[in-house]
């Protein structure tokens, strides 16, 4: 796999290929994204701060990040469980289940949104059993977290699964020979090996949940200060022709996305080093 430098590479087409890549990337992604920062730069600093720290906006951050965090924690736990079961055990229908794990990637978010809202609403399949016990899911922050669990579900499973598959079982044999019981082996040997992958999946699920819109708005109820997510607030501002406000909040969201991307890249580097 050692690759020689550009000089003795005989393959043709490098310059046009790279040129087109950069051209199309700039046209579709970089220039439009920079528009957001240029537009923000035209706002006054005080106006920007006022727009992104208004009480309703702060409440939307709390709802969005709080629910995303809760959903990512649930996904980290159950993601490891599902990955473990899929890699280590045999049962009927395993291949089918394995394929279905990616459903949240393939199912359009609007479809997920109306479906979850109908399941957890008062007369829904689950809502009718939960509401008499005082558990309201639809139209509350809890519902937002449920939608986020759905869309984030594949991330942890798909990052942990390959690590578990490649794990050398001799390590576990060694641990067992040295007198560790199964739980100790899991906690002391397996869990640390899986940790970079778990954290990567956790961060991916969290990042996805923070920006999510379609699957949430139907189940959220969208009450200002209570169950209004930040992406929805951007749309609300746009519909009121408050472009400056929408842009300012979008900039905050974009900066958060960039920070998350940076974290995820660092985590992936760490897990690659771990694997070697």
Partner 1 sequence: MQAGKLTQRSEGKGAITEPAWVRYLLITAALAFLALFLLMPLAAVFVQALDKGWEAYLEALKEPDTISAIRLTLITAAVCVPLNLFFGIVASWAIAKFSFRGKSFLITLIDLPFSVSPVVSGLIYVLIFGLQGWLGPWLQAHDIKIIFAVPGIVLATVFVTFPFIARELIPLMESQGREEEEAALTLGASGLQTFFRVTFPNIKWGILYGVILCNARAMGEFGAVSVVSGHVRGSTNTIPLQVEILYNEYNYAAAFAVASLLALLALVTLAIKTVSEWKLQQSISVAGKER
The footprint of partner 1 on residues 192-221 (CB under 8 A) is: 207, 210-214, 218
Q: Is 143 exposed, middle or buried (0-12, 13-18, 19+ CB in 10 A)?
A: buried
The crossing angle, in degrees rounded to 10, of helices 243-275 and 141-166 is 20
Write each residue from 158 to 197 as x if it is in contact with partner 1 (CB under 8 A), else as -, in one continuous string.
-------xx--x--xx--xx----x--x------------
Please give the residues from 7 up to 26 whose contact with partner 1 meets the rule CB under 8 A. Answer: 9-14, 17-18, 20-22, 24-25
Q: How far is the CB of 124 from partner 1 (least distance, A)?
A: 8
User: In this complex, which beta carbon is closest to partner 1, that of residue 51 or of residue 253?
Assistant: 253
| Per-residue CA distances from 129 to 139, 171, 207, 218, 221 (Å) | 16, 46, 32, 20, 20
Please give the residues from 39 up to 58 whose contact with partner 1 meets the rule CB under 8 A. Answer: 39
Q: Is 223 in the site for partner 1 (CB under 8 A)?
A: no
Q: Compute and round to an integer the Cα radius of gyration of the chain.
A: 23
Closest to 256 (Cα-Cα) out of 224, 196, 201, 210: 210
Candidates 109, 131, 193, 222: give the one binding partner 1 (CB under 8 A): 109
Q: Is 110 in the site for partner 1 (CB under 8 A)?
A: yes
Write each residue from 233 to 262 as x if it is in contact with partner 1 (CB under 8 A), else as -, in one continuous string.
-xx--x----x--xx--x--xx--xx-xx-
Q: How far is the CB of 135 from partner 1 (least distance, A)?
A: 14
Q: How far apart are CA 162 and CA 83, in angstroms?
A: 9
Contacts of 14 (CB under 8 A, 6+ apart): 6
* Helix (H), strand (E) at residue 132: none
User: In this complex, which beta carbon is closest to partner 1, that of residue 140 or of residue 185?
Assistant: 185
């Amino acid at each position: 796999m050692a690759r020689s430098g550009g000089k003795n590479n005989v393959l043709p087409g490098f310059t046009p290929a790279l040129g087109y890549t950069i051209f199309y990337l700039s046209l579709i992604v970089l220039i439009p994204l920079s528009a957001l920062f240029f537009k923000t730069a035209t706002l006054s600093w005080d106006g920007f701060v006022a727009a992104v720290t208004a009480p309703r906006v702060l409440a939307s951050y709390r709802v969005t990040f709080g629910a995303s965090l809760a959903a990512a924690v649930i996904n980290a736990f159950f993601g490891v469980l599902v990955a473990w079961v899929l890699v280590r055990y045999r049962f009927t229908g395993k291949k089918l289940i394995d394929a279905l794990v990616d459903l949240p990637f393939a199912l359009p978010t609007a479809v997920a949104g109306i479906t979850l809202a109908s399941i957890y609403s008062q007369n829904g399949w689950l809502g009718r059993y939960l509401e008499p016990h005082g558990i309201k899911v639809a139209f509350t922050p809890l519902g937002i977290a449920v939608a986020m669990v759905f869309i984030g579900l594949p991330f942890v499973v798909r990052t942990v699964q390959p690590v578990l598959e490649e794990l050398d079982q001799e390590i576990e044999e060694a641990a067992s020979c040295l007198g560790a019981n199964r739980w100790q082996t899991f906690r002391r040997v397996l869990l640390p090996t899986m940790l970079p992958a778990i954290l990567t999946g956790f961060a991916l699920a969290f990042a996805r949940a923070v920006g999510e819109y379609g699957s949430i708005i139907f189940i959220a109820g969208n009450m200002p200060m209570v169950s209004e997510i930040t992406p929805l607030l951007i749309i609300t501002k746009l519909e009121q022709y408050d472009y400056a406000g929408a842009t300012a909040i979008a900039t905050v969201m974009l900066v958060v996305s960039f920070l998350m991307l940076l974290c995820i890249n660092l985590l992936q580097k760490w897990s690659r080093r771990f694997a070697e």
